[in-house]
């Protein structure tokens, strides 16, 4: 993404004005039909050890930057896996097994799926996927929980900590030279040769159903968040800031709120790295077609380092997302530090690089003069209740310490806090 100054700007954006008048019915029905709104949560609720992840309010920070509330859905504790990704992988495998068992007309219990009788009917299945870390770990966990096998492909820049975390779930891990997108292509070829079943969170021509099931699985966290907000006396968030790689989580959250609230859905902002800004690039093209982002995808936000949007997710985002924002690594690093060293009265949140970029972007929007035009367009102010998703714990602890202890990826001098920006 071209840089406009010596230091990369904290925010690049594109407003999607068509979202205000577009009829999203077709894309919404494709991703989240009304019949699928509650099923994922019913399935997840019966998984042994499953519990609702916390919603944390950052009231002091909200007051400091000039919004009514900041609410963080903290997925760092999800099933002790440190990420929301297991919600999608487990639900997709569940739906696949239902089909294989000829039981699509009814819901199956977790106990039934793991029974010896069902195991004998299914035989041995190997699930495969490509990942930057969290999705692969979630698929590996779900495969093992359902007494099946998993092969997980990672790209060559994946940290050893993330590889070890996947292997600890009993999966075989293969390292592919290149980027995440190269790993996707390779696992697809190898799965066809070996008879594996691919459980991918991105889609391509002829492969959409499983990615849609994954997006449906993610809605569990938004359903929980909505109930938790209601317990705080809030009907809904006014704004949803959600991070994106291929766009699956963003599409899931936006689809959930548009299905639940229709025209009253919150203002939805999609945030991604400037070095992997495939969605911003697609939005700026203006023709509704997904675009490939070239380059090495060199960003600390490993879970968002994707050069190709998921086409099925993109169609929903093009219809419904109000703005696309790209931020450099120092924005995510600032978010990590602010989460980890909160203001007095706010809870501490441990967030990895991909989990913290939305907080960093929100702070730059509110604190810096550079964010004023977009802040006005999004109507962010004292009455705003902003929902963020901490999508991951510090899945790379060594790099987390570099950011938190040593100040890696500092905010450039010209973009540091501007006390007059919020006025």
- For 307, which DSSP code? S
96 by Cβ neighbours in 10 Å (0-12 / 13-18 / 19+) ranks as middle
123-145 exposure pattern, b = at least 16 Cβ within 10 A, e = fewer: eebbbbbbbbbbbbbbbbbbbeb
If one counts every other C-beta atom within 10 angstroms of the C-beta of residue 107, the result is: 13
Examine the residue annotation and report whether 147 is marked as an active-site residue of this protein: no
Give the phi and the psi of residue 13 in degrees, each rounded to 5.
-150, 165
Q: What is the Cα 9 distance to its own chain's centre?
A: 23
Tokens 């949007």 sit at which residue?
309
The secondary structure element, H or E, covering residue 317 is helix 311-320
388 vs 268: CA distance, rounded Å? 11
If one counts every other C-beta atom within 10 angstroms of the C-beta of residue 117, the result is: 8
Examine the residue annotation and report whether 56 is marked as an active-site residue of this protein: no
Q: Which two tokens stand for residue 150?
A: 């998993």
Contact by Cβ (8 Å): 151, 131:
no
Task: Tell me the DSSP string of 65-91.
Answer: HT-SEEEEEEGGGGGGTTBTHHHHHHH
Of 88, 86, 75, residue with least CA distance to 32 = 88
Q: Which two tokens stand for residue 153?
A: 């492909």
**Rg, the chain, Cα only:** 20
Q: What is the Cα 304 distance to its own chain's centre?
A: 8
Of 235, 312, 220, 231, residue with least CA distance to 266 = 235
Given 85, 319, 346, 396, the catalytic residue: 85
382 by Cβ neighbours in 10 Å (0-12 / 13-18 / 19+) ranks as exposed
Given 132, 308, 319, 346, the catalytic residue: 132
Sheet architecture: strand order including 172-176: 172-176, 149-155, 126-131, 197-198
Name 400's Cβ contacts closer than 8 Å, sequence gap at least 6.
336, 352, 394
SS3 state at 29:
helix
What are the start-end ranges of the E strands in 189-266? 197-198, 239-243
Q: Mind telling me the catalytic residues?
A: 85, 132
């Amino acid at each position: 993404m071209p840089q406009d100054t010596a230091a990369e700007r904290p925010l690049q954006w594109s407003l999607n004005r068509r979202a205000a008048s577009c009829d999203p019915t077709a894309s919404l029905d494709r991703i989240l039909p009304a019949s699928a709104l509650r099923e994922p949560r019913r399935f997840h609720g019966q998984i042994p050890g499953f519990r609702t992840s916390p919603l944390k309010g950052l009231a002091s920070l909200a007051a400091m930057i000039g919004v009514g509330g900041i609410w963080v859905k903290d997925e760092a504790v999800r099933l002790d896996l440190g990420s929301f990704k297991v919600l999608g992988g487990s639900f997709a495998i569940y739906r696949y097994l239902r089909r294989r068992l000829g039981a699509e007309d009814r819901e199956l219990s977790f106990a039934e799926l793991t029974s010896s009788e069902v195991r004998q009917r299914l035989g041995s299945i190997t699930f495969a996927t490509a990942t930057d870390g969290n999705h692969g770990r979630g698929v590996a966990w779900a495969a093992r929980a359902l007494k099946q096998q998993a092969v997980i492909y990672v790209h060559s820049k994946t940290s050893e900590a993330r590889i070890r975390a996947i292997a600890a779930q009993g999966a075989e891990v293969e390292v592919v030279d290149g980027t995440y997108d190269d790993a996707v292509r390779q696992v697809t070829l190898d799965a066809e040769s070996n008879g594996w079943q691919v459980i991918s969170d991105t889609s391509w021509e002829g492969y959409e159903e499983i990615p849609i099931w994954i997006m449906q699985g993610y809605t569990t966290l938004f359903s929980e968040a909505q109930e938790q907000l209601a317990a705080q006396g809030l009907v809904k968030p006014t704004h949803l800031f959600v991070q994106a790689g291929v766009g699956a989580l963003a599409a899931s959250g936006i689809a959930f709120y548009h299905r639940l609230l229709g025209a009253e859905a919150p203002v939805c902002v999609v945030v991604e790295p400037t070095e992997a800004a495939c969605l911003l690039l697609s939005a700026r093209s203006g023709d509704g077609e997904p675009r490939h982002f070239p380059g090495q995808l060199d960003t600390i936000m490993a879970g968002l380092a994707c050069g190709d949007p998921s086409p099925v997710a993109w169609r929903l985002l093009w219809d419904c997302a109000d703005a696309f924002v790209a931020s450099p690594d120092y924005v995510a690093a600032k978010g990590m530090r602010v989460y980890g060293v909160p203001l007095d009265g706010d809870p501490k949140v441990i967030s990895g690089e991909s989990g913290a970029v939305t907080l960093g972007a929100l702070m730059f929007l509110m604190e810096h003069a550079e964010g004023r035009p977009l802040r006005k367009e999004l109507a962010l102010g004292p009455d705003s209740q902003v929902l963020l998703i901490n999508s991951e714990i510090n899945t790379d602890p060594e790099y987390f310490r570099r950011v938190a202890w040593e100040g890696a990826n500092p905010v450039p001098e010209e973009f540091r806090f501007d006390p007059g920006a919020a006025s």
